[in-house]
Amino acid sequence: MRYLLVEDDRETADYVSRGFREHGDVVDHAANGQDGLMMATDASYDALIIDRMLPGIDGLKLLNMLRAGGNQTPAIFLTAIGGIEDRVEGLQVAEDYLVKPFAFAELHARIGVLVRSAAPTDAPQTTYSLAGLCLDRLKRTVERNGEAISLQPVEFRLLEYLMRHEDRVVTRTMLLENVWDFNFDPRTNIVETHISRLRSKIDKGFDRPLIHTVRGAGYRLSDDG
């Protein structure tokens, strides 16, 4: 996902940006309304995160200008202005409204709802393939170059997640949350152990590896090494 954060407080901007980047997302930051308007107009984003109290163009006016210009990117106001009338006014133009102070987990969850609600309602993808590696979610089968590979359920979920994020770095935190449903770090080598087991089944005996370690960041499934 790619988000635009329009926030003039540097500490808040760093906190939000770091949180999304740890989930593998891209965050562009604008520190004032004018820059936010220009960036939202010039680029495509999955969601907008906008402070109400901004230098130059305030957040409410900024979003009204975008809507008037036909920009319907889902947006959430992230602001210290928490009065009932302020919320009602904000929700007339934005899809959501979160009052500071806030927990990043709640912001992340709300953004997820916005993005899912705006996504096309196409049928979910059921098969993935890369360099002869094929995974079928419905049949629960995996093969590489036509050779069937037997995976344990957790290994299947791990490979599916990697294939869904082909060519993207996925962090240990992302894997713990999405494969094991852990919202905490168990301080074990559970991720490393299962990656090693998966490699032994997916890559061993084939001409080139597909699962790569990105030092200091996580893992990436890719055919380009």
Low-confidence ranges of the chain (pLDDT < 70): 119-124, 225
What CATH code is assigned to 124-221?
1.10.10.10
Structure tokens at 119: 């996504």
20 backbone dihedrals φ, ψ, rounded to 5°: -70, -40
User: Which fold would CATH assign to domain 2-120?
Assistant: Rossmann fold (3.40.50)
Residue ranges of the chain assigned to CATH 3.40.50.2300 = 2-120
Q: Which stretches of the chain are assigned E, i.e. beta strand? A: 2-6, 26-30, 47-50, 75-79, 96-99, 127-130, 133-136, 141-144, 147-149, 211-214, 218-221
CA pair distance 19, 15, nearest whole angstrom? 6
Give pLDDT, residue 14.
Answer: 95
Give pLDDT, residue 120.
Answer: 58
Give pLDDT, residue 116.
Answer: 83
